[in-house]
């Protein structure tokens, strides 16, 4: 589950969100969102999956949520759309890893890679489109190979190999980043320069969306993985371990990237292109940069690969649970669906960025909220307590159940209303 949670959301999206939303205030809000909301919602989704033994399409229906089947198919569509743009970003990582490797071999210059594959800010670039389509197709094909091997021999085995590799890569990059002249000014901006006035509704909502995106919440991924957990396995340690590993990965990725960016006088608020335009300039500047660049993009490629495997597994389960398709047929169908859905976000950043915010933050927060409501208000209390209570005291589980039932939905709704009133409605003059 750490493998499916840790990926581009931690190493690509988290650093650029920190840069976009002002550094330390966003980091603090993000940590609070993971602890207070992310862990309870993760528990709810695991409970929903394990109690129904179904993916999202069947789980919401089995829980008794009105329109549960339609709701599940809606989240199926959300995962398909999110997986599509995620494969594009993963294709960027693949292209950069190859560029760094060819540079080390003396066969190319990694500095041309960002301009070659990144979509333009507007309009259409056919070179970029062709490179993205090729790299996305390669990513999807590699996923098909592992998905055909199944959960244990495929996804879990890949996770056990690639997650330690990612950790070593990130730690090497943290050590290099913190030894650059001026890096500690970046560390101060990243985790120490806290300003209460900077905790705006936009920052809080962005932090909440990032927490849900990074933990793969949204009524989909973790519902499926919860359905695979044995009945006698305590869920709380699973949730805490997953959230802890995911949080650590994001914080370390920020330490590996942001102090180096600031130390070299570059802008941390360059958005989704931070890792693909700004960071290559960092690697081009520091001694041994090509080696560290290859380590970074190779490690990121492995982590992101695990996350897209988890996303495609959700879609495969949605089809095998609710249609007559065999698993191989479902895998092929999902691969083709995601590949064709990837094309809109390949066109330019005017499409990619809203696509990311809509399917990466907004819809995942909504899905997590509905999963909590399904567990807190539709599943029988006895069923939920049995799912939460393995190995824990009844009093602690009763408090957790009350937090899930009342507090988590209320906080999410209040944050959403506050954000709409202060940021969204004024933007439209309302």
- How does pLDDT run across 129-144, given as a tens digit for each residue? 999 999 999 999 999 9
Pair of tokens at residue 336: 């083709």
Q: What is the pLDDT of residue 402?
A: 93
Q: What is the DSSP letter of 102?
A: H
180 or 26, greater pLDDT: 26
Distance in angstroms (rounded) separating the CA atoms of residues 221 and 155:
13
Q: What is the pLDDT of residue 151?
A: 63
Q: Residue 226: which of 51, 375, 76, 58 has the closest Cα?
A: 51
Distance in angstroms (rounded) separating the CA atoms of residues 14 and 6:
11
pLDDT at 160 over 80: no
332 or 113, greater pLDDT: 332
Q: What is the pLDDT of residue 247?
A: 93
Pair of tokens at residue 107: 């066969």
Report the chain's mean pLDDT, rounded to a whole number: 85
Distance in angstroms (rounded) separating the CA atoms of residues 48 and 55:
9
Q: Residue 48: which of 323, 367, 319, 313 has the closest Cα?
A: 367
pLDDT at 161 over 90: no
State mean pLDDT over 76-104.
87
Q: Which residue has the tokens 């090497």?
A: 172
Q: Which residue has the tokens 């092929």?
A: 332
pLDDT at 336 over 80: yes
State mean pLDDT over 57-76.
90
State mean pLDDT over 14-33.
91
User: Could you tell me if 301 and 8 are in contact, meaning their C-beta atoms sit under 8 angstroms apart?
Assistant: no
State mean pLDDT over 369-394.
86
For the chain, give the percent of residues with pLDDT over 90. 33
Pair of tokens at residue 359: 């399917």
CA 80 to each of CA 73, 139, 313, 336, 405: distance values in angstroms, whole numbers, following the listed order? 10, 15, 11, 11, 29
Q: What is the DSSP letter of 271?
A: G
pLDDT at 124 over 70: yes
User: Could you tell me if 119 and 326 are in contact, meaning their C-beta atoms sit under 8 angstroms apart?
Assistant: no
pLDDT, tens digit (0-9, with 9 covering 90-100), for 212-230: 888 888 888 899 889 989 9
Burial class (CB in 10 A: 0-12, 13-18, 19+), 211: buried
The percent helix, strand, coil of the chain (3-state, each to 5) is 80, 0, 20
Q: What is the pLDDT of residue 396?
A: 84
Q: What is the pLDDT of residue 428?
A: 60
pLDDT at 46 over 90: yes
Rounded to 5 degrees, what are φ and ψ at 21? Answer: -110, 25
Please tell me the pTM assigned to this model: 0.84
Confidence of residue 115 (pLDDT cuts 50, 70, 90): low
State mean pLDDT over 312-316.
89
Q: What is the pLDDT of residue 352?
A: 86
State mean pLDDT over 180-190.
90
14 or 353, greater pLDDT: 14
Confidence of residue 153 (pLDDT cuts 50, 70, 90): low
Q: What is the pLDDT of residue 111?
A: 46
CA 252 to each of CA 14, 15, 116, 145, 342: distance values in angstroms, whole numbers, following the listed order? 10, 10, 29, 30, 29
Q: What is the DSSP letter of 107?
A: S
State mean pLDDT over 331-345.
95
State mean pLDDT over 380-405.
84
pLDDT at 277 over 90: no
Q: What is the pLDDT of residue 110?
A: 47
Distance in angstroms (rounded) separating the CA atoms of residues 71 and 79:
13
pLDDT at 234 over 50: yes
Angle of helix 278-285 relative to helix 289-322, nearest 10 degrees, comes to 150
Confidence of residue 112 (pLDDT cuts 50, 70, 90): very low
User: Could you tell me if 258 and 190 are in contact, meaning their C-beta atoms sit under 8 angstroms apart?
Assistant: yes
Burial class (CB in 10 A: 0-12, 13-18, 19+), 112: exposed
Span 2-427 CATH architecture: Orthogonal Bundle (1.10)
Buried b vs exposed e over 390-424: b needs ≥16 C-beta within 10 Å?
A: eeeeeeebeebbebbbeebbebbeebbeebeeeee
Distance in angstroms (rounded) separating the CA atoms of residues 264 and 245:
29
Length of the chain as a residue count: 430
12 or 427, greater pLDDT: 12
Q: What is the pLDDT of residue 361?
A: 66
State mean pLDDT over 106-116.
56
Domain ranges of the chain: 2-427
Distance in angstroms (rounded) separating the CA atoms of residues 261 and 138:
30
Distance in angstroms (rounded) separating the CA atoms of residues 363 and 325:
27
Phi-psi region of 119 (alpha: psi -120 to 50; beta: other; left: phi over 0): beta
State mean pLDDT over 101-108.
71
Confidence of residue 297 (pLDDT cuts 50, 70, 90): confident
Q: What is the pLDDT of residue 32?
A: 94
């Amino acid at each position: 589950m750490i493998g499916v949670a840790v990926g581009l959301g931690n190493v690509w999206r988290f650093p650029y969100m920190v840069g976009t939303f002002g550094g330390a205030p966003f980091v603090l809000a993000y940590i609070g969102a993971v602890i207070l909301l992310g862990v309870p919602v993760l528990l709810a989704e695991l409970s929903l999956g394990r109690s129904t033994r179904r993916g999202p399409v069947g789980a919401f229906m089995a829980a008794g949520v009105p329109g549960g089947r339609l709701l599940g198919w809606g989240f199926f569509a959300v995962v398909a759309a999110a997986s599509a743009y995620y494969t594009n970003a993963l294709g960027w990582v693949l292209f950069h890893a190859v560029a760094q490797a060819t540079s080390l071999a003396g066969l190319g210059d990694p500095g041309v890679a960002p301009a070659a594959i990144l979509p333009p800010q507007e309009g259409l670039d056919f070179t970029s489109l062709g490179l993205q389509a090729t790299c996305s197709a390669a990513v999807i094909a590699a996923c098909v190979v592992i998905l055909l091997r199944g959960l244990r021999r495929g996804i879990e085995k890949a996770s056990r190999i690639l997650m330690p590799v990612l950790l070593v890569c990130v730690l090497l990059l943290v050590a290099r980043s913190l030894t650059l002249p001026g890096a500690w000014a970046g560390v101060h901006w990243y985790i120490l320069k806290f300003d209460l006035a900077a905790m705006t509704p936009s920052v809080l909502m962005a932090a909440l969306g990032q927490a849900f995106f990074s933990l793969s919440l949204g009524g989909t991924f973790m519902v499926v993985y919860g359905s695979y957990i044995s009945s006698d396995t305590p869920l709380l340690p699973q949730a805490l371990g997953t959230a802890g590993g995911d949080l650590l990965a994001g914080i370390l990725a920020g330490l590996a990237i942001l102090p180096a960016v600031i130390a070299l006088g570059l802008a941390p608020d360059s958005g989704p292109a931070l890792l693909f335009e700004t960071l290559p300039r960092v690697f081009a500047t520091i001694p041994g940069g090509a080696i560290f660049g290859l380590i970074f993009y190779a490690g990121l490629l492995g982590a992101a690969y695990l996350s897209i495997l988890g996303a495609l597994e959700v879609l495969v389960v949605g089809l095998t649970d609710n249609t007559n398709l065999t698993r191989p047929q479902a895998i092929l169908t999902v691969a083709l669906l995601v590949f064709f859905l990837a094309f809109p976000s390949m066109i330019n950043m005017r499409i990619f960025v809203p696509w990311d915010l809509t399917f990466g933050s907004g819809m995942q927060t909504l899905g997590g909220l509905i999963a909590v409501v399904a567990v807190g208000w539709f599943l029988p209390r006895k069923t939920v307590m049995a799912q939460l209570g393995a190995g824990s005291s009844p009093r602690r589980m009763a408090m957790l159940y009350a937090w899930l039932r009342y507090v988590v939905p209320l906080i999410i709704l209040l944050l959403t209303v506050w954000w709409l009133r202060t940021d969204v409605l004024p933007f439209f003059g309302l």
